[in-house]
C-alpha cells in the first residue's frame, strides 16, 4: 500500500456545505492556490475526466473516482511518467465540527522511489487549500 501524505482541518461548516463547495469545480480557482480553472466533462461523478489548469501554467489530465456525496472523492493523475498520483479528499463529521482532509498517494512502477520525494512536496500546500475551502464553506 502506498504511503499517504497530507493534512486535515476542522470547520464549523456542515459536511453538506463543504461538499457543495468541493464538488463545484467552477469555484476551485477561488480557494485552491494551485488551480486556475478545471475543464471537466460529465459532471462531478466517478469515471469522469478533465484537465486541471494550474496557476503555474501546467495542464494535468485527471479522473474522478470513488465519488461519495458529502463524504469524499479521489482524483487520479500521472504527473511524472511511471507514477500515479491519487488525491484522496475526505469529509468526516467530528463532533460539532467537520473534519476535511486531503492526502496524496504516489503509486505506479516508480511510485515507491518517487513517493518519498514527491509526496511531501506535492502535499505541502494542502493545509492552505483546506483552510481556504473551510472558509468558503462557512460563508455558503
The 10s digit of each residue's pLDDT in 59-93 is 999 999 999 999 999 999 997 889 999 999 999 99
Residue 51 and residue 60 in contact, taking contact as beta carbons nearer than 8 Å: yes
Domain ranges in the chain are: 4-138
Residue 13 DSSP symbol? S
Q: Cell numbers of 18, please?
A: 463543504
Is residue 1 predicted with pLDDT exceeding 60? no
pLDDT bin (cut points 50, 70, 90) of residue 2 is: low
Per-residue pLDDT, 3: 84
Per-residue pLDDT, 53: 96
CATH number listed for the domain at residues 4-138? 3.30.530.20
Residue 5 and residue 120 in contact, taking contact as beta carbons nearer than 8 Å: yes
Task: Round to whole Å and give the CA distance between 58 and 15.
Answer: 31
Buried-state track 39-74, b at ≥16 Cβ within 10 A, e below 16 = ebeeeeeeeeebebbeeeeeebebebeebeebebbb
**pTM, two decimal places:** 0.95
Residues contacting residue 28 through CB under 8 Å, at least 6 positions apart: 35, 37, 38
At 21-54, the pLDDT tens digits run: 999 999 999 999 999 999 999 999 999 999 999 9
Amino acid at each position: 500500500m502506498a504511503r499517504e501524505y497530507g493534512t486535515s482541518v476542522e470547520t464549523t461548516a456542515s459536511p453538506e456545505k463543504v461538499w457543495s463547495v468541493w464538488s463545484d469545480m467552477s469555484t476551485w480557482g477561488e480557494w485552491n492556490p494551485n488551480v486556475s480553472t478545471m475543464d471537466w466533462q460529465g459532471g462531478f461523478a466517478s469515471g469522469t475526466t478533465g484537465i486541471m489548469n494550474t496557476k503555474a501554467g501546467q495542464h494535468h489530465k485527471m479522473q474522478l473516482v470513488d465519488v461519495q456525496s458529502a463524504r469524499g472523492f479521489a482524483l487520479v493523475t500521472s504527473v511524472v511518467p511511471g507514477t500515479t498520483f491519487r488525491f484522496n479528499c475526505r469529509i468526516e463529521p467530528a463532533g460539532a465540527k467537520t473534519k476535511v482532509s486531503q492526502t496524496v498517494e504516489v503509486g505506479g512502477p516508480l511510485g515507491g522511489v518517487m513517493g518519498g520525494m514527491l509526496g511531501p512536496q506535492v502535499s505541502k500546500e494542502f493545509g492552505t487549500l483546506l483552510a481556504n475551502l473551510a472558509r468558503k464553506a462557512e460563508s455558503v
